[in-house]
Amino acid sequence: MNQQKLAQVAAQLKKSRVREIVWLRLFWLFFLADLARTNFI
């Protein structure tokens, strides 16, 4: 495995990791908002 390929794979992993974190945050945001709505109404 050459250096360039390794760098590409690393970049791809980092990208997917960031996307994963973003989705998790969105999920929690909606989940907590839903929880708050059901509790306060």
pTM of this prediction exceeds 0.85:
no
Distances (CA, A) of 37 to 3, 29, 31, 40: 51, 12, 10, 5
Alpha-carbon distance 14 to 41, whole Å? 41
User: Which tens digit of pLDDT belongs to each residue from 9-29?
Assistant: 999 989 999 999 999 999 999
pLDDT score for 1: 65
- 3-state secondary structure at position 1: coil
pLDDT score for 41: 58
Alpha-carbon distance 33 to 3, whole Å? 45
Please say whether the dihedral angle defined by the alpha carbons of residues 9, 11, 12 and 16, taken in this order, is positive or negative: positive
